[in-house]
């Protein structure tokens, strides 16, 4: 059994592994290591330490991808947590993870205000292109330490074929609104900004946030939600 948790107040990412060892298996290991004092417990501890090292690699990859921070920046600003615990009932467990101070926004690979503006533009254009509204305004709100937006607001200015609430639900289901998701969807890690240096970042047909290729699938999802059989 394993788990991963994040604690934004304590500025930590922690995970744990609980390993259940069959009694006959432990007896066999004990017999093989009988000549080594505490050999069985040492072997279990070593196995847990190796599992923790692998788990921390997975956790680190998940955090750096989710929050769009480089692996080197993450490593430089955190330290490892690695605690082996032995219970009175013989259970052995290990808690592992990372802990550090507050990471400044400037080290992240995206500025969520700019990325969010691009994404909101993309969403609004796809809603209109899908024929779901004659005009549309989309607002996204984010909080430090949270990858998903704390608010998604869709306003079709009374021109929508569905309620604004349903469209907001569909937007959350259909689009990846995390920083990493926006970078991937809009190709924000590519050298595409030269064309936007003059005359603004919007209305240029070649830029990713101006594309409406997702309109059809988004309209299908809205229809499913309207009939109550989609959006899980």
pLDDT one-digit tens code per residue, 136-149 = 999 999 887 678 89
Of 96, 115, 107, nearest to 72 by C-alpha is 107
Closest CA to 164 of 194, 121, 135: 135
| Secondary structure (3-state) at 187 | coil
Q: Are 101 and 9 spatial neighbours (Cβ–Cβ below 8 Å)?
A: no
- Tens of pLDDT, residues 152-169: 999 999 999 999 999 999
Give residue 18's pLDDT.
52
The angle at the Cα of 64, spanning 60 to 65, to the nearest 5 degrees, equals: 115
The SS3 of residue 154 is strand
The length of the chain in residues reads 232
Residue 111 is predicted with a pLDDT of 63
> Out of 29-33, 49-53, 193-197, 205-209, which region has the weakest mean confidence (pLDDT)?
29-33
Proportion of the chain above pLDDT 70, given as a percent: 67
Cα angle: 59, vertex 65, 67; to 5 degrees: 100
The model's confidence at residue 4, banded by pLDDT at 50, 70 and 90, is very low
pLDDT of res. 23: 56
- A 10 A CB-CB count for 74 gives 19
Tokens read off for 54: 């692998």
Q: How far apart are CA 132 and CA 100, in angstroms?
A: 46
Contacts of 132 (CB under 8 A, 6+ apart): 156, 160, 161, 162, 167, 218, 219, 222
Structure tokens, 44: 């279990």
Contacts of 160 (CB under 8 A, 6+ apart): 132, 133, 136, 167
pLDDT at 34: 67
């Amino acid at each position: 059994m394993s788990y991963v948790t994040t604690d934004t107040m304590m500025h930590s990412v922690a995970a744990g592994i609980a390993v259940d060892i069959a009694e006959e298996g432990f007896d066999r290991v004990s017999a093989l290591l009988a000549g080594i004092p505490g050999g069985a417990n040492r072997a279990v501890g070593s196995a847990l330490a190796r599992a923790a090292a692998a788990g921390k690699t997975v956790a680190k990859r998940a955090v750096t991808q989710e929050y769009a921070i480089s692996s080197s920046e993450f490593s430089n600003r955190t330290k490892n947590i690695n605690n082996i615990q032995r219970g009175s009932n013989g259970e052995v467990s290990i808690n592992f993870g990372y802990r550090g101070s507050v990471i400044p926004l400037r080290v992240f690979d995206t500025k969520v205000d700019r990325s969010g503006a691009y994404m909101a533009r993309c969403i609004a254009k796809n809603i209109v292109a899908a024929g779901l509204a004659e005009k549309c305004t989309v607002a996204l709100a984010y909080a430090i330490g949270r990858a998903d937006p704390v608010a998604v607001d869709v306003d079709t200015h009374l021109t929508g074929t569905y309620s604004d609430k349903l469209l907001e639900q569909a937007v959350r289901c259909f689009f990846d609104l995390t920083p990493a998701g926006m970078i991937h969807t809009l190709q924000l890690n590519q050298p595409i900004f030269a064309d936007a240096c003059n005359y603004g970042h919007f209305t240029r047909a070649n830029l990713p946030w101006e594309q409406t290729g997702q309109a059809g699938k988004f309209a299908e999802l809205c229809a499913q939600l309207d009939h109550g059989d989609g959006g899980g």
